[in-house]
Structure formats: structure tokens, C-alpha cells
């Protein structure tokens, strides 16, 4: 499977937080890599600038948009947690969360 775009990552990322616990960045990166059945080569593929991996970059964008939409919050550095609004979204059982959904 190719590395998913950031919008494809949004719903699985939010679902990781359904347990209402705080999760570290490294914890959900590993869970998402497993969810998308990524190979080590795909996980380690770098963006053109060579400053970070493509997968990490896309997770970062997904996390940014979920946070700006009020579905995730950051209670402390490198840890995120679902908000009440995020819980309501998951209860509505969306098929996909993307930019159109977030508007």
C-alpha cells in the first residue's frame, strides 16, 4: 500500500484516541503504520527536503487539521487527546474525515 495522504489518515488517527487517553506522537505513528500495513521502506521514505519522513509529515498535517477543528487537543508537549467534539464526531460513525467534512 502506498503511503496514505493526510486526509486518509485523519479518521484512523482520531479513532486511536477513542479510548480518551493521552497518546504520544511515537505511539500513534506505530499504530497508524500497522493500520495501513506500511513496510519499513515506506515508513522511512523521506520528503524531498530530507528533513523528515513522508509518513510523519502526513500524520503531522492530519493532526494539525484535527486540532484546528477542535477534535484533538494537546494537553502537554508531544501528547494529544480527543476532545468532546471529537467524541461526538466518532459517535456519528463517519465513513471518512477530510477537509470537506471538517468545514
Look at residue 1 in the predicted model and tell me its pLDDT: 67
3-state secondary structure of 11: helix
Over residues 45-83, the pLDDT tens digits come to 999 999 999 999 999 999 999 999 999 999 999 899 999
Query: Which of 10, 3, 4, 2 minimizes the C-alpha distance to 100?
Result: 10
Count of other CB atoms within 10 angstroms of residue 16: 16
Domains, the chain, with CATH or none: 6-102 (1.10.3380.30)
Over residues 17-47, the pLDDT tens digits come to 999 999 998 899 999 999 999 999 999 999 9
The per-residue pLDDT of the chain, averaged, comes to 96
Amino acid at each position: 500500500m502506498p503511503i496514505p495522504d493526510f486526509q486518509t489518515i485523519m479518521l484512523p488517527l482520531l479513532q486511536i484516541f477513542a479510548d480518551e487517553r493521552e497518546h504520544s506522537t511515537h505511539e500513534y505513528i506505530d499504530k497508524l503504520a500497522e493500520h495501513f500495513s506500511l513496510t519499513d521502506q515506506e515508513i522511512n521514505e523521506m520528503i524531498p527536503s530530507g528533513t523528515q519522513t513522508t509518513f510523519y509529515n502526513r500524520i503531522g498535517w492530519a493532526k494539525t487539521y484535527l486540532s484546528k477543528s477542535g477534535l484533538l487537543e494537546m494537553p502537554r508537549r508531544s501528547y494529544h487527546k480527543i476532545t468532546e467534539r471529537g467524541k461526538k464526531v466518532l459517535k456519528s460513525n463517519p465513513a471518512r474525515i477530510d477537509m470537506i467534512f471538517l468545514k
